[in-house]
Chains A and B, each alone.
Chain A
Amino acid sequence: MFGSDCDVGPRARVSHSVREDTDGLLVRRVLAGERQVYARLVERYRDRLGRYAVRMLGDVADAEDALQDTFVRGYRSLARCTDPERFGAWLFGILVNRCRTYAAKRTRRQKLVVTDDIAVASASVEHTEDRDASREAIMWALDQLPEEQREAFLLKHVEELSYEEMQQVTGTRIPALKMRVFRAREELRRLLTETVRG
């Protein structure tokens, strides 16, 4: 996850002679003084990190604030990125903690509606209403989870981190993480089942 190879876009798959610069190369160029190159790293990870932030915070504006904060902190600390080829994973660790801070700042979230333009555009017209209702129910249920359970669930099942990676990112021991994921699944099942039956 977040390795540079998986960043190669469709164009690069067509022509092997066209290949995007690796994270490591871009990081080294920034550290060598090419500040503007950092924009390419932001572009590369903006949406990918944005998904976690939006899911975790449940609010696009909050998510964008957390993202901006993350990218700026990442720039300021870039010299401490000890493995530039894994810049994305390193930055993700910063994001997870920034999301914790932003989540803690909120007293109580307003109504949770997340619109994924790409996903909506790809949905068939006849299923759009059902799909949106289902998505809204899922977002609502996710929002009901305690923050630590929501974080663990998203990292494990949506971002597909291993428990070892989760431990590195969160600083929480693996048995506790497993318990949080288990409880999150149970609670989501309960909430979504009740929603359907209701």
Chain B
Amino acid sequence: MAEHDDTIARAVQALKEPVRIDPSLTSRVMSEIEALPMPDGTAGRATVLEWLRRPRTIRLSPLGGLAMAAGLTAVVLAGSWFAGPRGTPAPVQGIATAQFTQPIQFVLVAPEAGSVTLVGDFNDWNLTATPMEKEAGDGVWWVTVPLEPGRYRYSFVVDGTTWLGDPNAPTLEDEFGRSNAVVTIGGA
């Protein structure tokens, strides 16, 4: 057994030895980012605002997810669904409301979850800004978010650690390589 532990220890020691990456990588990175906008978010938000105001087709997705028998299914419901028996929307923090916003309801069926939060482009992927509320008894979590017309990536975070996308929604990969669901809200 000791021999086996030594084997792993020697392997770990070898794997910990430093690696020298070609120093020119730095200049290659800097050349590539020269063509990118500054990452301060300010210019980006202005561009997004213009983009959001363009008329576009409504593609609310993934409505079909609600019908799935899967234990975990995420759906996004249109504003008209919002005016239902659920009454006052859950509190939403950190999301600026604007003149052309529509109430969009996000729903996740997760009976085993202890907590669920909604993260996305609309709240800067803040893990605490948009907690979802649990419907008594049926394992349905929901929250309503006012959104301007546009396209948004989003995910659900269950119990603070497990990120859930949606198999029925269009997806876009984020910088961490996660596939996030995408919802597109049409213009007025």
Partner-B contacts on A (CB < 8 A): 30-33, 35-36, 38-39, 42-43, 46-47, 50-51, 54-55, 60, 63-64, 67-68, 71-80, 82, 93-94, 97-98, 100-101, 114, 116-119, 134-135, 138, 141-142, 154, 157-158, 167-168, 171, 173, 185, 188-189, 192-193
Contacts and interface: CB of A to CB of B under 8 A. Distances in A.
A79 B41 contact: yes
A138 B8 CA distance: 10
A42 B30 contact: yes
Interface in B135-188: 161-163, 174-178
- Give the one of B14, B22, B125, B163 with max A CB within 10 A: B14
Contacts of B177: 94, 97-98, 100-101
Contacts, number: 136
5 contacts: A36-B30, A46-B21, A50-B21, A72-B32, A98-B177
Interface of B: 4, 7-8, 10-12, 14-23, 25-26, 28-30, 32-34, 36, 38-41, 124-126, 161-163, 174-178
Given A32-B40, A33-B38, A167 B18 contact: no
A134 B7 CA distance: 11
Nearest to A185: B8
B175 A76 contact: yes
A119 B163 contact: no
Contacts of B176: 93-94, 97
A74 B176 CA distance: 9
A98 B177 CA distance: 6
B11 A141 contact: yes
A109 to B, nearest CB: 17
Given A31-B38, A51-B19, A71-B29, 17 more contacts: A39-B30, A50-B21, A64-B22, A68-B25, A68-B32, A80-B124, A94-B177, A114-B19, A118-B18, A134-B10, A141-B11, A158-B16, A168-B161, A171-B162, A173-B162, A192-B7, A193-B7
Given A80-B125, A94-B175, A64 B25 contact: yes
B39 A31 contact: yes
A38 to B, nearest CB: 7
A138 B7 CA distance: 10
Nearest to B32: A72
A55 B15 CA distance: 7
A60 B19 CA distance: 10
A189 B7 contact: yes
